[in-house]
Amino acid sequence: MFRLQGSKVLAVDMTGDTVKAKNGSMVAYDGQMAFKKLTGGGEGLRGMVTRRLTGEQMTVMEVKGHGTCWFADRAAEINLVTLQGDKLYVESSNLLATDAGLRTGTTFTGLRGASQGNGLFTTTVEGHGQAAITSDGPAVVLRVSPQYPLSVDPGAYVAHQGNLRQSAQSGVTFRTFLGEGGGEAFQIRFEGDGLVYVQPSERNTIAGDV
């Protein structure tokens, strides 16, 4: 069971089940716990190979036992996402923890990787259960519908779910509208039906100086 204590600490109550979490994110625990370091961000060989090829670092630990574990990541805001058989696409640096009912993997998303400098893959989470994702400041969940597509700054993007298509909207930068240079060379356009999670702060991106 995932629950928040405040907005920056995740408490996970465990009764013999397993949780996967970002390595080094556990801040306390009670009860009896066993810990195992996993390699790669995805399930099996494919996940490990794609992480090595893209140079994207995502070290995961597996926690199993009886009691409560508390997780946090550099005082980032934590957001709980409940999946019911659907798939969540999330930046690997923003994925804090997943419960035993969810599978993690990797998927090719050339646009996202190129804009972030993280390689050409992003992390996927799917199945039935809860995931905890982090954001720099409180995340905002924006609805995308066929009538209302959404354009997102690459540095503010955290995750998305639903039946969405993404594409590059080149030649348009939010900073250009304000008369400022050095902004992202393009925005990410989402079309379809789903949700996009954005943070009120920008991470650095390679595209910033393009």
> What is the spatial distance between Cα 92 and Cα 106, in angstroms, rounded to a whole number?
9
Taking residue 170's Cβ as centre, other Cβ atoms within 10 Å add up to 12
Closest CA to 20 of 45, 47, 54, 43: 43
95-150, pLDDT tens digit by residue?
A: 999 998 899 888 776 554 444 444 456 789 999 999 999 999 999 999 999 999 99
Angstrom distance (rounded) from CA 199 to CA 140: 6
Query: Looking at residue 109, what is its pLDDT?
Result: 65
Q: What's the pLDDT tens digit per position in 157-189?
A: 999 999 999 887 775 555 555 555 555 467 888
Q: Is the pLDDT of residue 69 over 90?
A: yes
* 21, amino acid identity: A
